[in-house]
């Protein structure tokens, strides 16, 4: 099973860009879709985006053009950028792997990283 670990700043100022990286191991990069999900008390679990090594990406329209996901195929990492953050973006951010065997599900999750938006 894939192991994942998030890294990045725990504090971001309003209007700035939140940048997180996920390092993964134990699975083939092409066997999964790589995704970001966040969790906050107010909004619960929210799916942000996913990416596949084939180049396929999919974004949650709720975040409009604020979100960018990218995959480093050589370094076993993928990243999230969320621009123009507000306090509503304060949440625990998880990176995860989607296993797509006809019925996709989120097979493995990182431990999560808490990000606070505050000046």
Shortest separation between residue 52's beta carbon and another protein, angstroms: 13
Shortest separation between residue 104's beta carbon and another protein, angstroms: 4
| Interacting residue ranges for another protein, rule: CB under 8 A | 44-47, 58, 60-62, 94, 96, 98, 102-107, 109-112
Which lies closer to another protein via its Cβ, residue 55 or residue 61? 61
Q: Which of 24, 34, 18, 22 is nearest to 88 (CA)?
A: 18
Neighbours of 22 (CB within 10 A): 26
Measured CA to CA, the distance from residue 49 to residue 39 in angstroms comes to 14
Which lies closer to another protein via its Cβ, residue 16 or residue 107? 107
**DSSP SS3 for 101:** coil
Which lies closer to another protein via its Cβ, residue 96 or residue 117? 96
């Amino acid at each position: 099973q894939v192991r994942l670990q998030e890294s990045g700043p725990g504090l971001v100022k309003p209007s700035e860009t939140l940048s997180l990286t996920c390092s993964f191991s134990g699975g083939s990069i092409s066997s999964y879709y790589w995704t970001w999900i966040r969790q906050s008390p107010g909004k619960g679990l929210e799916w942000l985006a996913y990416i596949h090594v084939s180049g396929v990406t999919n974004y949650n329209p709720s975040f409009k053009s604020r979100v960018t996901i990218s995959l480093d195929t050589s370094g076993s990492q993928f990243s999230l950028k969320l621009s123009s953050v507000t306090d509503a973006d304060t949440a625990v951010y998880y990176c995860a792997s989607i296993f797509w065997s006809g019925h996709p599900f989120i097979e493995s999750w990182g431990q999560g990283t808490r990000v606070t938006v505050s000046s």
